[in-house]
Amino acid sequence: MTAPQTQTPQLTFQSGIVGFPEAQRFTLVEGGGEGVFELMSEDEQGPSFVVVAPQPFFPDYAPVIDDVTAERLEITDAEDALLLLVVTLRENPEDASANLLAPLVVNHRTHQAAQVVLTGQQFPLRAPLLSA
């Protein structure tokens, strides 16, 4: 898997993101710390998300991406894939959590992306971010 760049070209989520199927065009911008980014919708008044690269927070996180998703995103080599985790922020920053069950998978060559709900793998929906 590759590391995110500080800013990527527009990412296209053909099926949107869970809960936001109409939001399909995003830009990934480096955020306030190592491995922290903002995924900003290109659509007016579209959603934005705090996302993190898994390695700084969950170094043992190694989900298996299904063949259908890999084919749809044209991922032919693990180096083509970038994984990101959607973060849920809380009033108390220590209560922030990351969604390990449904990572964002980005082909860094084609800029095609998808949110993948992992099946048959035991990852939490809300993993504490700061205790990782």
> Is the pLDDT assigned to residue 98 strictly greater than 90?
yes
Query: pLDDT-derived band of residue 2, with 50, 70 and 90 as boundaries?
Result: low
CB atoms within 10 A of CB 2: 15
13-23 per-position pLDDT tens digit = 999 999 999 99
Instruction: Report the chain's mean pLDDT, rounded to a whole number.
Output: 90
Count CA within 13 A, CB hemisphere, residue 79: 0
Q: Are strands 11-13 and 112-115 parallel, antiparallel or unpaired?
A: parallel
38-94 per-position pLDDT tens digit = 999 998 888 999 999 999 999 999 999 999 999 999 999 888 999 999 999 998 888
For the chain, how far is it from start to end, CA to CA, in angstroms? 20
Average pLDDT over residues 3-31: 84
CATH fold, domain 11-128, is BH3618-like (2.30.290)
